[in-house]
Homo-oligomer: A and B are copies of this chain.
């Protein structure tokens, strides 16, 4: 055949199709062939847009991170109290992961490329959102990185365990998350938990 009529596909179109595939068929369905089918082109033509299947996976992870950051910033709009900001971040992580569970799982699987400046910029944005309220709450400079890592770890771990069904049934996970957020903020900022102040 040869080149088709009309506007050609851009990398953005390819990534959008790939995101669609992940969302509708799960993270394992992502691949050159499946995305090519989604775009109604032959698999070999995918290489006009991406270097490899791995590169495609990386682009999807990057796009997912971008969407996550945008949603996070929107959610923080107008939230000024630092403690409220931390709570908003926590719930945004969980809500976003639950609404986009295939994308979230995919993000978690892709190892970040530290040479990718776009990826680094997005990660910086996420970390900045976390850093600000911690500073405002008086977490010392030297503890800041530890506190951020602790928060990221707990939130990331929770949503992964939750979305992959690793919490046994019987107790509502929403209640557990509320509990986690409360204790985590208490532990990280050094303040008292609102639910369990010692006598």
- Nearest Cβ in chain B — how far from A105, in angstroms? 9
* A-B contacts besides A150-B183, A153-B154, A187-B188, 8 pairs, CB < 8 Å: A114-B165, A143-B196, A150-B184, A153-B155, A153-B158, A156-B161, A157-B157, A184-B184
Are B149's CB and A176's CB within 8 A?
yes
Q: Tell me how many residues of A have a C-beta within 8 Å of chain B.
A: 44
Is A180 at the interface (CB under 8 A from chain B)? yes
User: Which residues of B sit under 8 angstroms from A192, Cβ to Cβ?
Assistant: 198
- Nearest Cβ in chain B — how far from A165, in angstroms? 6
Q: Which residue of B lies closest to A190 (CB)?
A: B196
Main secondary structure of the interface of A (DSSP, over half): helix
22 contacts between A and B (CB under 8 A): A108-B160, A114-B165, A145-B176, A146-B171, A146-B176, A146-B180, A149-B167, A149-B176, A150-B158, A150-B176, A150-B183, A150-B184, A153-B155, A153-B158, A153-B161, A154-B154, A157-B160, A183-B188, A187-B187, A190-B193, A191-B198, A192-B198
